[in-house]
Amino acid sequence: MLILACNGENTENTKIDLDELTISEIHQAYKDGSYTAEQLTAAYLARIDSFDQSMNINSVVVKNPDALQRARELDAEFAETGNLRPMHGIPVIVKDNYHTIGLQTAGGSIALKDFKPKNDAWQVAKLKEAGAIVLVKSNMGEWAFSPKHTNSSIAGTTRNPYNTDYVPAGSSGGTAAAVTANFGAIGLGTDTGNSIRGPSAHNALVGFRSTLGLTSRHGIIPLYLRNDVGGPMCRTVEDATRVLEVIAGYDPSDQLTRHSVDRIPDSYMVHLRLDGLKGKRIGVFRQLTNIELHPSVSTLFEAAIADLQRLGAEIIDPFVVEDFDELRKDQWCAEFRADIEAWLAANHPTLRKLEDLIAAGEPTPYAADGLEYFLTASGRGENAIPCGDVFSDPRRIAYRKAIEDEMDRLKLDAIIYPGWGHPPAKIDNFEAGYLGDNSQVIAPHTGQPAFVVPMGYTEGNLPAGLQILGRMFDEPTLIEISYAYEQGTKHRRKPF
C-alpha cells in the first residue's frame, strides 16, 4: 500500500510502499536514496492515522511526538558518516509496559495514566543505541493479565486485523495487531505465559520467547518476574533475529542475565540458513497436540509436519515425556503483588501498594478480578512449595531436565506443537472461546526458548502458528529451523 510522506524541509511527496517492509529493505532504501528515515516515519504515522481507528483495530495508545525529530537526527548522522547502525531509522512498536523516556508507560491501566519513567527499559535502550525509533506505545491486556484478549482501561479493546470480530490474543495484542497491520517495522512484546507467542500465532507473526536469562527485563512492568520475558514480534524470522541480536546480553540490573555470559554466539544472523532444516531431528509433542486441538488447526499442523520433512527434517512422532502431567503441576507462582510493589517502590512517585493501584483507577472487569485475586494470593497457592527462579527452583529444574533428557536420548534438535490449538475467539465471546492455549504449559516454567512462526490460516482468514521449543540458550538452532520453515512455506500474508 503506497503512502505519501512529506516533511517540513523537503516538500516533495515521497511514495513509500509500507506493506511488509523488512529491516534490510528499509536500509537498502536509505542507501539508494529512495526515502529517508524521516519520510518513512511520517508514512507510518500517516498509516496509523488512516487505519487504526477507521478499521476498528485500536492498537496504538500514544504516538511519540519526538519520533520525527529522532528520524531527522539519524538521517543527518547517515549523511555525515555513510554508515547505518544495526537498527538505524527502524520505527518500532513498543508495548505499553516497557519504560520509555518521555512517553506514558501505563501497563494498560488508567491507574498509571501520565506516568513517564525517567529511564528506558534495557531493551528499548539497546534498540535506541542501535538506531531504532520508538514510534508508538501499543495497547495491551491490562497489567498483562490476560492471554485471552487485549483490553485495557487506558485504551479499550484491540481487534485482530485479519478479522476485527476476533481477538488478537493477549496480552501483547496491541503490538501484534500494529505490526501485522504494517503500522511499524518491528515490535516488542512481553511473555509471562503466552503473551508474545499467542498474539504472534493469532496475527501471522514471528514471535521469539527467548531463554529466561538471555535478555534483560529491567524497565518492564512485571507480571510474574520469575517467568517474564521481553522480545521481538515481527513479520519475518530475519527481522526477529536482528532484534534478538541487539537485545541479548548481560545487564547488571537484571541478575538473571548473568546466566547468559559466554552463552551468546558471535552472531545469530549467520543461522538464517535456507537449508537450516536439513538433518534436523524434530519431535512431535502429541501430549499437547492431542488436547483441545481444533480440526482446522490439526489440518494445518499435519501439513506443517509434512513441510518440515519435505524441507529436510527427520520427524520423530510422537515425542513423549514420562510423567508429564505430574511434572507440570504446581509450576505457577502468584507473585504479582510482590513484584508490582517492588516496581512501584523503585519507579512511581506516589503509588506503593496494590491497594493504591486499585484505588487509583477503574480497571476493566477482567483486570479487576485479577487484582482482587492478587490481594490475597501468593506463592504456589495452597501448596507450601517455595517459588524460585528457573535456575534454582527444584520443580522447574526437574521439569526442564525431563524434557531435555528425552530430547538428548532421541538426539532431537527441537520439539513442535501448535502455538494455539484453536482459532482466535470472537471478541464478544472470548471467555468461552479461550481454547487450545499451548504456550502456558512448558516454556514459562522450564525457561526454554520457544518460537512461533506462521503456519497458515483457518476458516475466516484467521491465522495459526507453529511453536518450536528448544534447549536452554539454543536459539541458534531454533532460528535455523524457523527460518528454513518460513522460507520454505511463505505462509504470512498481509491482512488488508
- Rounded Cα distance, 421 and 424, in Å: 10
The grid coordinates of residue 452 equal: 512461533
Polymer length of the chain: 496
Q: What is the rounded CA–CA span in Å between residue 203 and residue 181?
A: 9
* Active-site option among 138, 195, 216, 439: 195
Cell of 311: 524441507
Supply the Cα-derived Rg of the chain in whole angstroms: 21
Closest by CA to 138, choosing from 62, 34, 73, is: 62
C-alpha cell at 467: 511453536
Q: Residue 108: which of 142, 60, 146, 136 has the closest Cα?
A: 142
Q: Which of 438, 430, 491 is nearest to 300 (CA)?
A: 491
Choose, from 59, 153, 171, 260, the residue flagged as catalytic. 171
From the list 337, 345, 332, 330, the residue with the least C-alpha distance to 376 is 337
| Catalytic residue status for 126 | no
Backbone phi, psi, residue 414, to 5°? -165, 170
Please check whether residue 210 is in contact with residue 247, taking contact to mean a CB–CB distance below 8 angstroms.
no
Sheet bearing 462-469, strands edge to edge: 60-63, 133-138, 91-95, 186-191, 229-234, 206-209, 450-458, 462-469, 414-418, 281-284, 314-316
In terms of DSSP bridges, do strands 314-316 and 281-284 run parallel, antiparallel, or are they unpaired?
parallel
What's the half-sphere exposure (Cβ side, CA atoms, 13 Å) at 373? 13
Is there a catalytic annotation at residue 171?
yes
* Euclidean distance between CA atoms 194 and 471, whole angstroms: 18
Contact 284, 317 (CB under 8 A): yes
Q: Using CA atoms, how far apart are residues 302 and 456, in angstroms rounded to an integer?
A: 11
Known catalytic residue: 195?
A: yes
Active-site residues, by number, are 95, 171, 195
